Amino acid sequence: MWIPFLGALTSCSVGPDYACPCVEVPTEWKHQGCSENEKRVSSEWVYLDDWWQVFEDEKLDWLEDWALENNRDLYMAYQRIEEARALMGVAAADLYPQLNLNPQFTNTGELIKNYNVLPGILNNAVPKVFRAHELLYFLPFNLSYEVDLWGKIRDQYNSAKYDWLASKEDFDAVMLSLTSSLAAAFYQLRVADTQSDLLLQTIATREKALQINQDRYEGAITFYADVTLAAEELDIVIAQYHEVRRQRDLFEDQIAVLIGVPASEFCLEHLPLERLPPCIPEGIPSDALMRRPDIARAEFVTRSQHALVKKAYSLFFPSLILTGTLGFESPVFRDFMKWISRYWMFGEQINQILFDGFRTCSNLELQVAKFREASGDYQQLVLTAFQEVEDSLANIESYAKQYDALLATTKWAKKSYELYLDRYTAGVTYYIDVVNTERDLLNYQITLNAAAGFRYLSTIQLIKALGGGWSYACNDLD
């Protein structure tokens, strides 16, 4: 009769129901990402699991695959998933009866005092002191089961389950951070290679200019100041080249660590930029941020804390523990494990807190505060995510416009340099005019290259802010 009643009780659950923290989601973005001169390649938003494929770069694909296989941070994040899964199993164990075998053998010798009471002579009992020797063979199977009347054990298990799911999202967050950091370092290295090419071309030009000025000076056509000025400009560019090579080495070492190999054993070939990053397709859904692993993790943490709140509520109600023992017990070994030495016992224990110094009340307040903290962290993280997307879109849009303006400026600067070089060759103007225009051209070219690099970095930051990539097509550099 009472078994169905207990089964009905175990379906009870106390405490408030869970509701996801409310965050207002905007309907559209302030910035679009690409400049007006660039066409978006697709209006359909399609997610890519391997988001770096949006760049269509085989070398980057190879590095990302290597990093996913060898990176130590990713390995540790996976082990944290295993830890959380094991803790979930520990919590789930309390949902089942606990059965253990506890064999015992005792051999006791002691001095005891016994009152030898004979029938009908109650008033003349004479105590007797003697030594006793007792043997006991005991083979019990002990059963203990706490009936989950109010969902306390299930809530503890649910909390561990959500922690496990949060650890899986944390793994994805580590993977997203790893792959985006690798892509950023890779394209910074490529920007450095492109700048190295610009500087090498300038070095070759200025070496030729130095030789021309030396010849003109020896021919008494120009002043020695033109020679010193040409040498000065050459040495400046050589210094800039070595600085770029230093930065490139640092990016290469950073990539080595990310892919899990010693920096001393890793080298990348010369890889200058050949194209611009992909344009952002129209129609980025505002709820795209919900797929971000850090946001999903924060939501699972909130769920975990809510389950602990429900458990804290259940502690105000009585608990019921069923116990039972079945086995054999005998003081004589020859009778041990026989039917006559059978032993059994069962019982139940009910525990209800009457007063514990307000410990249970304080524990409930603690869990409620932790849940509210987790809820606030989730809401703040969503707001920060929207900021990161808007910042990335604003950067992409601004750098795209800067790139267009710098591209036009570079073309004009190149034309100016060619005109002044022709005038100097014809002896119409001074070499200082050529130097100034050439210096301006180099600075514009370096700035243009940097703007292309910033566009790559901003695109990677946007992908990271969105939690993944999209369908794509790439544009060649002009």
- For 39-69, the DSSP string reads --S-SS---BSSGGGGG--HHHHHHHHHHHH
Per CATH, the number for 99-147+318-351 is 2.20.200.10
Name the nearest CA neighbour of 181 among 27, 35, 68, 302. 68
- Rounded to the nearest 10 degrees, what angle do helices 152-218 and 224-258 cross at? 160
pLDDT digits (tens, 9 = 90+) for 197-220: 999 988 988 888 888 888 878 888
- Distance in angstroms (rounded) separating the CA atoms of residues 172 and 185: 20
Which H/E stretch holds residue 162? helix 152-218
Residue 216's pLDDT is 78
Mean pLDDT across 122-131: 68
Q: What stretch(es) of the chain map to CATH 1.20.1600.10?
A: 2-95+149-317+359-476
Per CATH, the number for 2-95+149-317+359-476 is 1.20.1600.10
Residue 78's pLDDT is 95
CB atoms within 10 A of CB 402: 17
Residue 365's pLDDT is 95
Residue 213's pLDDT is 82
Cα-trace Rg, the chain: 39
**Chain Cα centroid distance, residue 383:** 18
When pLDDT is cut at 50, 70 and 90, the band that residue 2 belongs to is very low
Residue 175's pLDDT is 93
Name the nearest CA neighbour of 186 among 255, 127, 94. 255
**Does position 19 have pLDDT exceeding 50, yes or no?**
yes
Contact 160, 90 (CB under 8 A): yes
Phi-psi region of 107 (alpha: psi -120 to 50; beta: other; left: phi over 0): beta
In a 3-state reduction of DSSP, which class is residue 23? coil
pLDDT digits (tens, 9 = 90+) for 380-435: 999 898 889 889 889 998 999 999 999 999 999 889 888 888 887 887 777 778 88
Task: Look up the pTM and report it.
Answer: 0.83
CB atoms within 10 A of CB 328: 19
Residues in the chain: 478
Residue 267's pLDDT is 93
What amino acid occupies position 303?
Answer: R
Contact 67, 185 (CB under 8 A): no
- Weakest mean pLDDT among 58-67, 137-146, 406-415, 465-474: 465-474
Q: What stretch(es) of the chain map to CATH 2.20.200.10?
A: 99-147+318-351
* Six-digit token string for 232: 């000065």
**Does position 192 have pLDDT exceeding 90, yes or no?**
yes
What amino acid occupies position 305?
Answer: Q
- Distance in angstroms (rounded) separating the CA atoms of residues 430 and 302: 72
